[in-house]
Amino acid sequence: MGFYNDIILPRLCSFAMRNKQLLPFRERVIGAAEGRVLEIGVGSGMNLPFYRPPVREVLALEPAQRLVSMARGVTSNMPVSFLEASAETIPLDAHCVDTVVTTWTLCSIPQGATALAEIRRVLRPGGKLLFVEHGLAPDEGVRWWQDRLTPAWRRFTGGCHLNRPIRSMIEGAGFSIDRIETGYMPGLKPMTFMYEGSARPN
Q: How many domains does the chain have?
A: 1
**Could you count the other beta carbons within 10 Å of the beta carbon of residue 157?**
18
* 125 conformational bin, left if phi > 0, alpha if psi -120 to 50, beta if neither: beta
Higher pLDDT, 177 or 66: 177
DSSP-assigned letter for residue 56: E
Share of the chain above pLDDT 90, in %: 84
Checking if the pLDDT of 162 tops 50, the result is yes
Mean pLDDT calculated for residue range 187-195: 96
Mean pLDDT calculated for residue range 57-86: 94
Higher pLDDT, 12 or 111: 111
Per-residue pLDDT band for 15 (boundaries 50, 70, 90) equals low
CA distance 92 to 121: 9
Q: What is the pLDDT of residue 156?
A: 85
Q: Is 19 helix (H, G, I), strand (E, B) or coil?
A: coil
Q: What is the pLDDT of residue 1?
A: 47
Range name among 18-22, 128-132, 192-196 with the lowest pLDDT average? 18-22
CA distance 98 to 35: 6
Checking if the pLDDT of 192 tops 70, the result is yes
Phi, psi of 174 (to 5 degrees): 95, 25
Q: What is the pLDDT of residue 2?
A: 64
**Could you count the other beta carbons within 10 Å of the beta carbon of residue 169?**
19
Contacts of 152 (CB under 8 A, 6+ apart): none
- Summarised one tens digit per residue, pLDDT across range 113-123 is 999 999 999 99
Among 119, 124, 126, 131, residue whose Cα is nearest residue 173: 119
CB 76 within 8 A of CB 60: no
DSSP-assigned letter for residue 185: P
- Using CB atoms within 10 A of its CB, is residue 81 exposed (0-12), middle (13-18) or buried (19+)? exposed
> Which CATH number goes with the domain that contains 82?
3.40.50.150
- Summarised one tens digit per residue, pLDDT across range 24-55 is 999 999 999 999 999 999 999 999 999 999 99
Rg, Å, the chain Cα set: 16
Mean pLDDT calculated for residue range 79-89: 97
Q: What is the pLDDT of residue 17?
A: 63
CB 60 within 8 A of CB 48: yes
Q: Which domain holds residue 116?
A: 2-201
Q: What is the pLDDT of residue 13?
A: 59
CA distance 162 to 190: 7
